[in-house]
Amino acid sequence: MMADTATNTHHDHFPDRWGAFGDGLEDPDNMSVFVKGSRTPAADERCHALGRQVSEKPQGRKPRAGLTLLARKNTVPSRKGIVIHFERRIYVLSRRQFLTSTLAAGVALVSQKATAQPAKRTIVDAQVHLWKTEEDWRVLGMKPQMPEPFTIEKLVPLMDQAGVDRVVVVPPGDRNDYALEAAKRYPNRFAVMGRIPLKNPQAAALLPKWKEQPGMLGVRLTDGAPDWFWSEAEKAGLPVMFLTPGRNAELARVVERHPRLQVIADHMGVSADIIKEGRLADAISQTASLAKYSNVSVKLSAAPNYSSEAYPFRDFTPHIKRLFDAYGPKRCYWGTDITYGYEKATYKQRITHFTEELSFLSEEDKDWVMGKSILERLRWA
């Protein structure tokens, strides 16, 4: 039984080794408190109010900063209790005395702060292409972005190494089967913004049940769409990613007519051809002009692919900042389109470009831009 009064003891009974909080806590009596603070009459008086002085501090004990909850590795059965070690003095309280004191609340608070871990940032790549054969590209008259197929088996290890949690897969051609295979195999890591055959008269009938395909979140367009599509997509609640480089201002008419339709401007409205033609600033301006519509958002993606500089791609910083300022953190998404310009940067560099090199982003901004925003916009639980 533990006494209800302060216990006399001598410093020789205290072990030289002190364990981290948690060691030995199976025995609730095997607990000590080490208090280090500025020596003032008021502080000393508070210590005396909790327990009386019992000995001088052992020589050679190195002071520790802060208020720390520790557990003794070696129990002294005849001297169990709460030890208050303040500067050069040691006080011992019974467990009951300690638990009824105001110090207990302070120790608990500091302990919680010391053991609390910051939440891990969820990182979501808003666009990656996957393909198994060249035909996946050629069906739309395009060349593959890499000489070798970029498969699920190649992407997953890259994600793991870089710390990417999820990826939005965008099929390069008009087939969605391989992208949906990725979502089926890794439902917590992949989802799809699929292609729809707009030239097929039966395509409109696909939209109402589009998201019934496991892993399918919406639609991706690369060259506009007929009027019927926008109306049907709005009715079906389908978000739409669109890539119309240098022509984003034309979308104003669409988003005005369909205010419940969520549309996402890909790659800041930029392409390699736009840059070659010297129209980069105009393309960025057109994309920024759509920010006044709350149903429009933007991928701040593919900067390494279009930059004329090496990492950290400083020539694109003003463009990224302009769009971020226009849209805000909840309507901006980090993404890589990593297979285009694959050699320009590693996957990890494409992350740190945003998390370490863009000084105008706060930590909270990064949480949204790097993952929370795209998950919320696509309703990807």
* Structural domain boundaries in the chain: 11-115, 124-378
Lowest mean pLDDT among 67-76, 109-118, 142-151, 204-213: 67-76
Is the pLDDT at 180 greater than 80, yes or no?
Answer: yes
Is the pLDDT at 330 greater than 90, yes or no?
Answer: yes
Residue in the block written with tokens 């003891």 = 9
Q: How far is CA 252 from the centre of its chain?
A: 31
CA distance 41 to 139: 83
pTM to 2 decimal places: 0.70
DSSP string across 153-171: HHHHHHHHHHT--EEEE--
Is the pLDDT at 201 greater than 50, yes or no?
Answer: yes
The pLDDT of residue 202 is 86
Q: What is the pLDDT of residues 248-272, one digit of tens each?
A: 999 999 999 999 999 999 999 999 9
CA distance 48 to 39: 13
Helix ranges, the chain (H): 41-50, 95-99, 102-115, 135-138, 152-162, 177-185, 227-236, 252-257, 272-276, 280-289, 303-306, 317-327, 347-355, 363-367, 373-378
Instruction: With beta carbons less than 8 A apart as the criterion, state whether 195 and 217 touch.
Output: no
Is the pLDDT at 178 greater than 70, yes or no?
Answer: yes
The pLDDT of residue 174 is 84
Is the pLDDT at 241 greater than 50, yes or no?
Answer: yes
CATH 3.20.20.140 is right for the domain spanning 124-378: yes
188: pLDDT confidence band, cut at 50, 70 and 90?
very high
The pLDDT of residue 8 is 37
Residue in the block written with tokens 């339709």 = 261
The pLDDT of residue 133 is 84
Could you tell me what percent of the chain has a pLDDT over 90? 60
Is the pLDDT at 146 greater than 90, yes or no?
Answer: no
